[in-house]
Structure 1
Amino acid sequence: MLIKTRGIVLNYLKYRETSIIARIYTEQRGVQSYIVNGVRRAKPPGRIALFQPFTLLDLVAYVSPRGGLTRLSEFRCAYPFRTIPYDIRKSSVLLFLSEVVSRSVREEEPNPELFAFLHDSLLTYDAQTEQHENFALLFLLHLAGYLGFGPESGREITEQVAFATDVNQASTARPTVLRFQEFEHHFGELLHQPAQPTIPNGRVRRELLGILLRYYQLHVEGLGDIRSLDVLSEVLSE
């Protein structure tokens, strides 16, 4: 059986000499893994680029009644990004967010609202030419709502993180009470006044991302460390 569906690439693994196993969030069937043959050959060039994280695809995929690993019959880029591949900040943000989504979204069933959020957010981000420095924070705050633990206030985030004792935290010192109050204020702005945040600089923005990731670790089992955060921190450094 074949189905046509839109998909958002999460990641891929090399498979044999020229193929990959691509993990894709599909509109019709949730998270699915597909064998894609021959995309790592030298010719035709560029096909492996279609499976970079968060690429938007139109797919024709095989469906097995027993579930499990199947193959793609056809695939093509649904929307070539116009700004993201040429902006190191944007591409680093997407690498980071794709890792969070890949570890957080696991259901092998359709979720039209979540798919629309991911799809439309990527299109919006690609179209933005300015004032997109808070995109990662806003994206993660909204994603938490679709995953079932969306905060209603900044205090909800900071209190849970401040009192958590079972999260694998970085070796840096725990923020002071005054710092948590500052974080609470900024998260509150992002939640309720996203067009008018007062985050002063990249350093504070990186700290907010760290706090928000700890919040995710409390709610997403096995989230672990997000390796691309270090890359993003370097790119967003002052």
Structure 2
Amino acid sequence: MLHKTRGIVFKYFKYRDTSIIAKVFTEEFGLQTYIVNGVRSKSSKGKIALYQPLTLLELVVYYKESADINRISEVKCGSPFQTIPTDIRKTAIAMFVAEVLYKCVKEEGDVHDVFEFIYHSIKILDHLESDYQNFHLQFMLKLSKYLGFGIESSDFLDVFYAEEAQLAKELMDNSYEESAKLNNSSRRKMLDHIIKFFQTNVDSLKEINSIKVLQEVL
């Protein structure tokens, strides 16, 4: 049966010579796995761009609850990016965010709230013109609430000093447009603490490969 849904690409893997396996977080069904045939062939005319991490999609998909892999009937970009692909700092942030999401967000069923949060946050990142160096910090702190272990939990204080905990709360409560001012050293230290906080709550979040690129450009 066919269903319309919005989707957010988390990751894709090459499959055989011209196909991919795409991990897409959908508004209707949570995280789904889709096989997309022929998208890497010479005749696909750049359609692989639709499956870059964090791309926002409008989909018509086949869905069978018992199936591990489903298929996409129709796909188009729901909100084309203006700056994420061309701004090296935003690209690095997007790669990092996509990896965190892929390893942390597994829910199925009613995922409307977390989907809206992620979708809206990605659009803001694309439109921010300045002062977005702390976006990934704010995003992870805000995301933790949707994953069920916000900074009010006791685990949070185990990895933060009191002063850093207050700064983290400020980052979480502020909008992306009014981020706190941090230098590179403070930003990296805060990120280390946030990652440790996530790792105490998410078993699948171990090594984050994209953090090296992120630290090079921020």
Confirm or deny a common fold (TM above 0.5): yes
Match of 2:159 in 1: 161
RMSD between superposed Cα atoms in Å? 1.8
1:67 to partner: Cα distance: 2.6
**CA distance 1:192–1:17, change in 2 (3 Å):** closer
**CA distance 1:84–1:65, change in 2 (3 Å):** closer
CA distance in 2, matches of 1:44, 1:217: 39
Identity of matched residues, %: 44
Match of 1:145 in 2: 145
CA distance in 2, matches of 1:221, 1:19: 30
Match of 2:191 in 1: 209
Match of 2:121 in 1: 121
1:192 to partner: Cα distance: 4.1
Match of 2:168 in 1: 187
Q: Give the structure-2-normalised TM-score.
A: 0.93
Q: Give the structure-1-normalised TM-score.
A: 0.85
8 A Cα contact 1:26 1:110, kept in partner: no
Say if 2:80 is the partner of 1:80: yes
8 A Cα contact 2:38 2:44, kept in partner: no
CA distance in 1, matches of 2:54, 2:174: 27
CA distance in 1, matches of 2:19, 2:44: 13
Say if 2:195 is the partner of 1:197: no
Larger radius of gyration: 1
Gaps of 5+ in 2: none
1:182 to partner: Cα distance: 4.4
8 A Cα contact 1:57 1:78, kept in partner: yes
Query: Deviations 1:176-226 (Å, cap 9, x if unpaired)?
Result: xxxx35423421321345636242x11210111111001000001121111
The amino acid of 1:233's aligned partner reads: Q
**CA distance 1:29–1:65, change in 2 (3 Å):** closer
Gaps of 5+ in 1: 163-179
CA distance in 2, matches of 1:102, 1:66: 21
Moved over 4 A (4+): none
CA distance in 2, matches of 1:73, 1:192: 40
CA distance in 1, matches of 2:34, 2:202: 24
CA distance in 2, matches of 1:149, 1:99: 19
